[in-house]
Amino acid sequence: MAKHLVWFRGDLRITDNKALFSACTDPEADVLAVFIATPEQWQKHDTSPRQIAFIHKNLIALRESLAQLGIPLVCQTVPNFSASIQWLSDFAQQQQIDALFFNRQYELNEYKRDRQLISQENSFQIHIFDDALLLPPKSVLNQKGEMYQVYTPFRRAFLSQLTASDFHSLQAPTKRANAIILEENEPLFEHDDIEIAACFPVGESAARQKLRQFCREKAENYQIDRDIPAIEGTSLLSPYLAIGVLSPRQCLNRLLVENPNVLDFPDSGAFCWLNELIWREFYYHLLVAFPHLCRDKPFIAWTNYIHWNTSSADLEAWKKGLTGYPIVDAAMRQLNTLGWMHNRLRMITASFLVKDLLIDWRQGEQYFMQQLIDGTLAANNGGWQWSASTGIDASPWFRIFNPTTQGKKFDPQGEFIRHWLPELQAVPNDCIHTPHEWAEKNQVVLAYPTPIVDHKLARLRTLEAFEAGKKESIASK
């Protein structure tokens, strides 16, 4: 009788999981599952304690779902990826595994780990699947056979190829006729016991319910509501996609159920959300096409010559939400409390760090990863390089957000600001974005810092720094 092993990584679900489904295709085969925790690797990758806690909670839910199928889940902790390969090989040999099944991961270190496993002599067959994306990397190329470096033509080619492909979602496997019972092995590993925000309930069922509710009730207005942080206008599904509790195919298929004509209406809210799913694909495809993006390198080489501000005081003020710019500080406090930040605010806070404080974007990228419950290298790096004007199809380097104007535009009454900055509760709506002007005029003492930088002067400094970096790059050649 065949014995199959499923290696769970960034795909903590039983529904629409290609590796699990394939491993269970033979009704007579015994099926086991493993998850390997790698704390040293998590630390090296700046994985946030909150995301690790979220993984842990969802592993418990996954174990229960697998147990109902007659599949035991074994969890093992080893230091790093190299040790995980050794443990996996030993475990497969001990269990007399015939075939190993897993879904591909696209980051550089994960790719090298898998190549190490494939290249060694194994006593089992290996079956690998492209599961984490709607279309695998290197499948959407331009006429020269190269990766697109501009998003819009990528999206056009992506949609053309997607609609001609099979993107249906797989059902969860049926219960095994030969259920395996192993000695009890709790899927536990050492981690900080961090409370997860109520807006991110644990488990597949909860995630699918959030997906259905969003597509049915909110997708239609997403294009308008997504920029207003005071309302719940976004899907809040990114943490589930990040660790694979949901698949992108599930997201797309549910969107099509509720909005069957979405592809015919590119100006609709539903298409706007689909566009975000495609941006996610774009950033993953870029990681594979340009591996140096996984190594703290900008895509635009000349930006390496920019001389950044190294002030630790400025960086700490930004991290703690004490810059004196209310929309920036409210956003950073949301991040520090929930491990999540509204997408519009990610752009505002990133722009402020890089183009008001002139601090290296990699400092911000690292801090976000250390905090985010939904952090992934692809999306985080892509977003930061876009905001910093160092990446592919990025915001032009001379485009600099005015944080006060951004606050007035997207939180006009200060509802979001007051929620996260209680020290500004008494400030009137029309003054909430410039509270110190109001305080000075009314002789009120605020327990809130004055702006750490003058935006107009900072803008000029940043333009000069980028221009100087570009000239220095040219001179060095």
pLDDT at 392: 87
pLDDT at 184 over 70: no
CA angle 153, 157, 159 (to 5 degrees): 115
Q: What are the phi and psi torsion angles at 101 (to 5°)?
A: -125, 130
Say whether both 390 and 322 belong to one domain: yes
CA angle 314, 315, 318 (to 5 degrees): 90
CATH number at residue 23: 3.40.50.620
Say whether both 39 and 147 belong to one domain: no
Q: Is 186 helix (H, G, I), strand (E, B) or coil?
A: coil
In a domain, residue 139? The reply is: yes
Question: Identity (one letter) of the amino acid at 434?
Answer: T
The predicted-structure confidence for 112-160, as pLDDT tens digits, reads as follows 999 999 999 999 999 999 999 999 999 999 999 999 999 999 999 999 9
* Burial of 38: CB neighbours in 10 Å, binned 0-12, 13-18, 19+: buried
Give the residue ranges of DSSP H helices in 72-107.
Answer: 81-94
CATH number at residue 470: 1.10.579.10
Share of the chain above pLDDT 70, in %: 99
Average pLDDT over residues 180-205: 86
Say whether both 239 and 95 belong to one domain: no
Say whether both 139 and 122 belong to one domain: no
From CA 400, how far away is CA 359, in angstroms rounded? 14
In a domain, residue 231? The reply is: yes
pLDDT at 177: 87
Say whether both 143 and 218 belong to one domain: yes
Q: Which of 289, 310, 325 is the last residue of a domain?
A: 289
From CA 166, how far away is CA 252, in angstroms rounded? 12
How are the residues of the chain apportioned to helix, strand and coil, as percentages rounded to the nearest 5? 50, 5, 40
Domain coverage including residue 258: 133-168+205-289
The predicted-structure confidence for 246-277, as pLDDT tens digits, reads as follows 999 999 999 999 999 999 999 999 999 999 99
Residues catalogued as catalytic: 276, 279, 308, 343, 361, 384
In a domain, residue 447? The reply is: yes
With cut-offs at 50, 70 and 90, classify the pLDDT of residue 180.
confident
Say whether both 283 and 307 belong to one domain: no
The predicted-structure confidence for 98-114, as pLDDT tens digits, reads as follows 999 999 999 999 999 99
The answer for residues whose C-beta is within 8 angstroms of residue 157's C-beta and 6 or more apart is 140, 141, 142, 148
The predicted-structure confidence for 6-30, as pLDDT tens digits, reads as follows 999 999 999 999 999 999 999 999 9
CA angle 324, 330, 334 (to 5 degrees): 145
Q: Which of 235, 256, 289 is the last residue of a domain?
A: 289
CATH number at residue 229: 1.25.40.80
Which parts are annotated binding residues for FAD? Answer: 222, 234-238, 273, 276-283
DSSP-derived secondary structure for 10-69: S---STT-HHHHHHTSSTTSEEEEEEEE-HHHHHHTT--HHHHHHHHHHHHHHHHHHHHT
In a domain, residue 77? The reply is: yes
Say whether both 98 and 65 belong to one domain: yes
Say whether both 232 and 246 belong to one domain: yes
More reliable by pLDDT, 1 or 283: 283
pLDDT at 166: 94
Q: Which of 73, 102, 131 is the last residue of a domain?
A: 131
Average pLDDT over residues 161-189: 86
What is the pTM for the complete model shown? 0.96
Say whether both 15 and 153 belong to one domain: no
pLDDT at 162: 96
The predicted-structure confidence for 68-80, as pLDDT tens digits, reads as follows 999 999 999 999 9
- Is residue 294 within 8 A of residue 109, CB to CB? The reply is yes
- Mean residue pLDDT of the chain comes to 95
Say whether both 358 and 273 belong to one domain: no
In a domain, residue 213? The reply is: yes
Q: At 357, list the tokens.
A: 């404080």
The predicted-structure confidence for 385-419, as pLDDT tens digits, reads as follows 999 999 988 778 888 999 999 999 999 999 999 99
Say whether both 78 and 102 belong to one domain: yes
Share of the chain above pLDDT 90, in %: 93
Average pLDDT over residues 195-224: 96
pLDDT at 178: 82
With cut-offs at 50, 70 and 90, classify the pLDDT of residue 187.
low
Average pLDDT over residues 450-456: 97
Which parts are annotated binding residues? Answer: 222, 234-238, 273, 276-283
In a domain, residue 190? The reply is: no
Say how many CA atoms lie within 13 Å of 38 toward its Cβ: 24
In a domain, residue 430? The reply is: yes
Say whether both 457 and 318 belong to one domain: yes
Sheet holding 3-8, edge to edge: 73-77, 30-37, 3-8, 99-103, 125-129
In a domain, residue 212? The reply is: yes
Instruction: Give me the number of domains the chain comprises.
Output: 3
With cut-offs at 50, 70 and 90, classify the pLDDT of residue 185.
low
